[in-house]
Amino acid sequence: MKKLTVAAVSALACAFSAAPAAAVSYDAFASFAGTAPQGAGTNGSFIYGEANAATPFSAGVFFTANTNCFIDGSTCLQLAPNHDVPGVTKSTATSFQYGTVNVPDDRLLAHPGNSSNQTFLAFVAPTAGSYTLNAIFNVQDIHPTGVGINLIETTDGALPLIFQPIGSIDGANPTFSYTTTVLLVQGGAIGFGLDNGGNYTNDSTGVQFSVNAVPEPAAWALLIAGFGVTGAALRRRRSARTTFVTA
């Protein structure tokens, strides 16, 4: 009986170890520290910069400067010190008012520039698999003029295909939410581009962006099998005890 119990526990342990993506989540706000991976980013990271449909991530424009932030009291990533916009910032303390901008303390603040490029926030997959994206965009300027939101994706570091306009925010519609589940190869990236559809000086946008890894079906099957083996062992053990008592 001990051997059977040990085998059941071992099977269950193997099942858990075979589901590495079961509880893995990534959050752009929590991980943002004013530093940026070089090039197209490292697996499991968020990357920030400017792009359009003709700019490869591997050769794109990435935000790397984190000094002289264009909003005081924040940690930032921007093109260069004192470059103002475009850029991404995070409050270093509580929410506060900076000019016409409400700087939040629970989400990133992204700002498009005045070029045809879009400010992007993207996630780089650490392993091949299925990932669920959850994002909320909201107006953070008291005089909003409108921001278009686009879904962008690259599977191999090639073109960051800005292939799907998915929504917009403005004074009349200050919040937009989006959720999707996608398959990514290792190193593939997916995220969002923010355009300067209105007057870019008033287009500060709050962004909540999180990613959850989805367990593979095989991992779930093995996990369930592990529970089944353990349950069978426990039932046999109870049956043996019952037989001993009534004999």
DSSP state of 96: E
Kindly indicate the confidence band of residue 139, based on its pLDDT and cuts at 50, 70 and 90: very high
Tens-place pLDDT, residues 156-187: 666 667 778 999 999 999 999 999 999 999 88
pLDDT tens-digit readout, 81-127:
877 789 999 998 899 999 999 999 999 999 988 888 889 999 999 99
Percent of the chain with pLDDT over 70: 70
Using the predicted structure, report yes or no on whether residue 146 has a pLDDT greater than 80.
yes
pLDDT for 40 equals: 63
Helix residue spans in the chain (DSSP H) = 2-17, 28-31, 217-246
Per-residue pLDDT for 19 more than 60? no
Sign of the Cα torsion 195, 196, 198, 201 reads positive
pLDDT tens digit sequence for 199-246:
788 899 999 999 999 986 544 444 444 445 445 554 555 554 444 444
Please classify residue 91 by burial: count the beta carbons closer than 10 Å to its beta carbon, then call 0-12 exposed, 13-18 middle and 19+ buried: buried
88 vs 127: CA distance, rounded Å: 26
Average pLDDT on 2-11 reads 43
**Do 88 and 65 touch, CB atoms closer than 8 A?**
no
pLDDT > 90 fraction of the chain, expressed in percent and rounded: 42
- To the question of pTM greater than 0.85 for the whole model, the response is no
